[in-house]
Chain A
Amino acid sequence: MSDASIHSQAPEQEASFGDYFALLKPRVMSLVVFTAMVGLLAAPGGVHPYIAFCAILFIAVGGGASGALNMWYDSDIDQVMSRTKTRPIPSGKVTREEAFAIGMTLSVMSVIMLGLATNWMAAGLLAFTIFFYVVIYTMWLKRWTPQNIVIGGAAGAFPPMVGWAAVTGGISVESVLMFTLIFMWTPPHFWALCLFMKSDYKDAGVPMLHVTHGRAVTRNHILVYTLLLAGIAIGMAFTGVGGKIYLVTAVVLNALFVLGAIKIWRRSDEACEADDHKVEKRFFALSLMYLFLHFGAILAEAALAPYGLGGW
């Protein structure tokens, strides 16, 4: 067989290493790494720095594995949506079977390794997170109910609980509150994105709230969830993970977030079209900063505690 014939048999768009890495959704993984790290560092007690590093790495790999399994199952949807059609499977670089194999292998490996490195409670929580994201959210809720993102958001909220459990070996009020913060933050964050990307979900047949109930109802939901979130986020200041730094951060950010939600709630479709969803885009950008700074404040409280500056 000549080189020329080998080339002609090879897939036209053969995957590079980067394409396989892209299956793990690196951007989502960065959020998982950050929140898991905060959960781990804010937990009472301590863990060897190398074991902490390994724990965060395995949590990140577990999160990435669930991303690969999500891409495996949702390749038909990804093919339709402009935001996702360049992903490795719809672009023809990676096959569905490869994505499934990578996702399953990394899922099992990350759970076992986290169990061996830390404890089996943390490993169990990581396994449940992967199960929740792949089976409950991707396979079931996403294509079935407009509340998909509300319940499915739990999957993205587990990493700080896993990080916390890696140190303490258990679940506590503080770790559940960190979970609740991300859980309540996800709907307004994602619905704001939907408001300026509406045609995509409609074409893919995903029953997002704005597709099934309209944009006005979505705006109402954003406001209600933002108000509930503000109560929880500020209330967290008076728990074990809070303190003065967190309180100031939470009050300022939640005031801005509620103000943004009210602005969105008062807008009409015409106003949105007129300025190309400027307010919604700004709210979405703020939501990213919102979560980062809240967890940053929790981290600051934990870091300053040994010097008598963190906490109350």
Chain B
Amino acid sequence: MSFREEHELHKRRFGRNLGVALTLGAFVVLLLGLTVVKVTRGDFEPESVKVQTQ
């Protein structure tokens, strides 16, 4: 009998870990996208700079 024998429990745990990893990865990408949109729209620029550029 092998100690490395795959159990149904391992598959379920792997699926759960993969799900958490993908969710966290997607959240990071989402934040990156949000930052890019906010910065390119000038949301973080001071009011004085916004007035000058208009």
Same complex for A and B? Answer yes
Which chain A residue has the least Cβ–Cβ distance from B33? A50
In whole Å, how far is B36's beta carbon from the nearest beta carbon of chain A? 9
Contact of B34 among A14, A15, A51 (CB under 8 A): A51
Residues on the A chain within 8 Å of B13, using CB: 14
Residues on the B chain within 8 Å of A57, using CB: 30
A3–B5 touching, CB < 8 Å: yes
Contact of B3 among A2, A14, A15 (CB under 8 A): A2
Q: What 0/1 pattern do residues 1 to 16 of A give for CB contact below 8 A with B?
A: 0110001001000111
Distance in angstroms between the alpha carbons of A54 and B9 in the assembled complex: 35
Distance in angstroms between the alpha carbons of A51 and B31 in the assembled complex: 11
Which residues of A in the span 152-195 have a Cβ within 8 Å of any Cβ on B?
none
Contact of A48 among B20, B30, B41 (CB under 8 A): B41
The reply to whether the CB of B37 lies closer than 8 angstroms to some CB of chain A is yes
Q: How many A residues have CB within 8 A of the partner chain?
A: 17
The reply to whether the CB of B16 lies closer than 8 angstroms to some CB of chain A is yes
Residues on the A chain within 8 Å of B16, using CB: 15-17, 20
Contact of B18 among A3, A17, A116 (CB under 8 A): A17
A3–B3 touching, CB < 8 Å: yes
Distance in angstroms between the alpha carbons of A54 and B5 in the assembled complex: 43
Residues on the A chain within 8 Å of B30, using CB: 54, 57
B15–A16 touching, CB < 8 Å: yes
Distance in angstroms between the alpha carbons of A239 and B33 in the assembled complex: 36
Residues on the B chain within 8 Å of A245, using CB: none
Which residues of A in the span 102-116 have a Cβ within 8 Å of any Cβ on B?
116
Known: A2-B3, A3-B7, A17-B19. 17 other contacts (CB 8 A): A3-B3, A3-B5, A7-B9, A14-B9, A14-B13, A16-B12, A17-B15, A17-B18, A17-B20, A20-B16, A48-B41, A50-B37, A51-B37, A54-B33, A57-B30, A116-B34, A117-B34
Interface residues of B (CB under 8 A from A): 3, 5, 7, 9, 12-13, 15-16, 18-20, 30, 33-34, 37, 41
Interface residues of A (CB under 8 A from B): 2-3, 7, 10, 14-17, 20-21, 48, 50-51, 54, 57, 116-117
Closest 8 CB pairs of A and B: A17-B19, A17-B16, A50-B37, A16-B12, A3-B3, A48-B37, A16-B15, A17-B15
Can you give 28 contacting A-B residue pairs, CB < 8 Å? A2-B3, A3-B3, A3-B7, A7-B7, A10-B9, A14-B9, A14-B12, A15-B16, A16-B12, A16-B15, A16-B16, A17-B15, A17-B18, A17-B19, A17-B20, A20-B16, A20-B19, A48-B37, A48-B41, A50-B33, A50-B34, A51-B34, A51-B37, A54-B30, A54-B33, A54-B34, A57-B30, A117-B34
